[in-house]
């Protein structure tokens, strides 16, 4: 298995062996630098590609699916426009998962409650969604997760077990923190890039051809642009006989404690 916990001992052993050989002049020190370079490259790659489960187990799609279900997910809300997303999902009888930010829940508690009341799943997306999330230490990540859980628990009798890391970043701090807080990390198999791409058609073109059973689609309930794309995606799903279920239903996991 190509994971952080196996890669480190292997690179370390090779490093020690290389250093001994280099001290005795058998090989050049450049081989040791090469190992350091490989370590940095793997760590960077593992941190940013959530599908690799490099540091921690990440659920990002359902391999053995029922042929019709996929999971639409929305990050970074609730926001005032979340209401329009909920209206649209209701029209299509679709269920989704909302990975909410604690401080947004604090601002829009009624919209948060509406998400739950309409049968969608809530997941933890940290308290503050700080841009420096990838640099927090284990305790800081635990703090971000626990505060968001507490915010949710204040409004509903639930403690979420599903967590999506901001920017999809996983690293050793996140891995240790979720072991402590017992959250399951949920990734995605289709990234719409809806907060980056300004052209609606480009967002649609990224998602539409890949839509299929078992997939987990990442959107954000933060813009009119995404709302318009979602309408087209729901139409396409209907024509293909695909339905959206909550991510816990898709993956057969418990969403709450």
Structure token digits, residue 145: 């997760």
Report yes or no: 73 and 188 within 8 Å, Cβ to Cβ. Answer: yes
Contacts of 4 (CB under 8 A, 6+ apart): 42, 43, 46, 54, 55, 172, 175
Residue 168 binding Zn ion, by CB under 5 A: no
- Site for Zn ion (CB under 5 A): which residue of 75, 144, 149, 194? 75
Question: How far apart are alpha carbons 146 and 127 in whole angstroms?
Answer: 8
The per-residue b/e assignment along 69-89, b for 16 or more CB within 10 angstroms, e otherwise, is bbbbbbbbbbbebbbebbeeb
**x-or-dash pattern for Zn ion, window 172-211, by CB under 5 A?**
----------------------------------------
Active site residue 65: no
Size of the site for Zn ion (CB under 5 A): 3
Active site residue 149: no
Residue 215 binding Zn ion, by CB under 5 A: no
Nearer to Zn ion, 76 or 221 (CB): 76
Tell me which of 76, 194, 220, 248 is the catalytic residue. 220
Which of the stretches 66-74, 165-173, 181-189, 232-240 binds Zn ion when contact is defined by CB under 5 A?
165-173
**Residues engaged in binding Zn ion (CB under 5 A):** 75-76, 166
């Amino acid at each position: 298995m190509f994971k952080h916990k196996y890669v480190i001992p292997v690179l370390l052993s090779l490093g020690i062996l290389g250093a001994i050989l280099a001290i005795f002049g058998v090989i050049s020190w450049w081989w040791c630098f090469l190992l350091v370079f490989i370590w940095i490259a793997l760590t960077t790659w593992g941190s940013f590609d959530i599908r690799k489960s490099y540091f921690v187990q990440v659920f990002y799609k359902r391999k053995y699916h029922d042929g019709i279900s996929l999971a639409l997910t929305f990050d970074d809300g609730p926001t005032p426009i979340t209401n329009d997303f909920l209206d649209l999902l209701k029209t299509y009888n679709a269920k989704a998962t909302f990975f909410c930010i604690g401080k947004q829940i604090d601002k829009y508690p009624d919209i948060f409650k509406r998400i739950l009341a309409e049968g969608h799943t809530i997941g933890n997306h940290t308290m503050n969604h700080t841009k420096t999330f990838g640099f927090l230490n284990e305790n800081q990540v635990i703090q971000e997760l626990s505060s968001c859980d507490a915010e949710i628990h204040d409004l509903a009798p639930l403690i979420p077990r599903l967590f999506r890391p901001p920017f999809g970043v996983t690293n050793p701090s996140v891995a240790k923190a979720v072991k402590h807080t017992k959250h399951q990390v949920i990734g995605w198999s289709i990234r719409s890039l809806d907060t980056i791409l300004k052209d609606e058609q480009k967002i649609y073109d990224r998602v539409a051809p890949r839509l299929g059973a078992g997939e987990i689609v990442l959107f954000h309930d933060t813009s009119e642009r995404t709302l318009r794309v979602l309408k087209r995606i729901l139409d396409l799903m209907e024509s293909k006989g695909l339905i959206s279920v909550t991510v816990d239903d898709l993956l057969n996991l418990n969403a709450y404690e």
